[in-house]
Amino acid sequence: MDVVFIFEWLDASWLSDLARTSAGLFSMVQAVHILSMVMLCGMLILGDLRMLNVVLTGVPSDIIIRNTKKWIYIGLAGIILSGIYEASAIAMKLATNSFFWAKMAGLAMGIVFLLSIRSSIYARAPEVIGSNGPQSDAVDAWVVKLVAVTNLLIWFSVAANGRWIGFS
Ligand code: HEM
């Protein structure tokens, strides 16, 4: 499917005019993009490293996963909105930029993985104790660890491709 028309539309929009003419605002939005990434990836890394038994091993994993959820969504909202603003300034460059497309593919994969596999497997991690005692449907610890490593790799690729757009 040819999606170039979306980039042409963005390139001709008032958002693009604003992004190109207001350097101060653009720098602030760049800062929001990076801070949102820190929030999003920080919360993801916390949950994943907990599942790998690296950090906060004294805290039950379900408490960490439950408490980071809201901040993951806030980080995602911030990074997507600021990303669209940044993209409007260089829309025609991005339309044919392979690192941008690799980043978008990684982002789509990361969101689907987060909402489906990561959340359902983490809810069935062996050490999660439900109100009725130990879970009967707990998955093997190595499955949880595989999910943690996969999630870390997906989001690392998104961040690395994001940075690489600037070099290309
Ligand atoms: C719809 C979502 C997103 C869009 C449209 C978007 C778009 C952009 C654009 C246009 C740039 C500037 C590229 C340049 O000229 O240097 C950028 C930079 C960057 N993005 Fe995103 N982005 C999105 C999501 C994300 C996510 C989810 C991450 C990380 C998890 C991320 C990480 C980065 C990084 C690390 C940079 C480089 C920042 C810098 O060097 O100043 N982005 N993004």
Taking only the tens place, the pLDDT of each residue in 85-144 is 999 999 999 999 999 999 999 999 999 999 999 999 999 998 765 555 556 678 899 999
Query: How much distance in Å is there from the Cα of 2 to the middle of ligand 1?
Result: 22
Atom of ligand 1 nearest to the CA of 94: 10
- Does residue 14 have a pLDDT over 90? yes
Let me know the angle formed at the C-alpha of 57 by 52 and 60, rounded to the nearest 5 degrees: 100
Check residue 135 and give its pLDDT: 63
CA proximity to 47, closest of 114, 134, 130, 137:
114
Per-residue exposure over 97-133, b if at least 16 CB sit within 10 Å of its own CB, e if not: bebbebbbebbeebeebbeeebeebbbbbeebeeeee
Give, using CA atoms, the residue closest to atom 18 of ligand 1. Answer: 162
pTM comes to: 0.93
Check residue 61 and give its pLDDT: 93
* Residue 37 near ligand 1, beta carbon < 6 Å: yes
Alpha-carbon distance of 61 to 67, in angstroms, equals: 10
Query: How much distance in Å is there from the Cα of 166 to the middle of ligand 1?
Result: 9
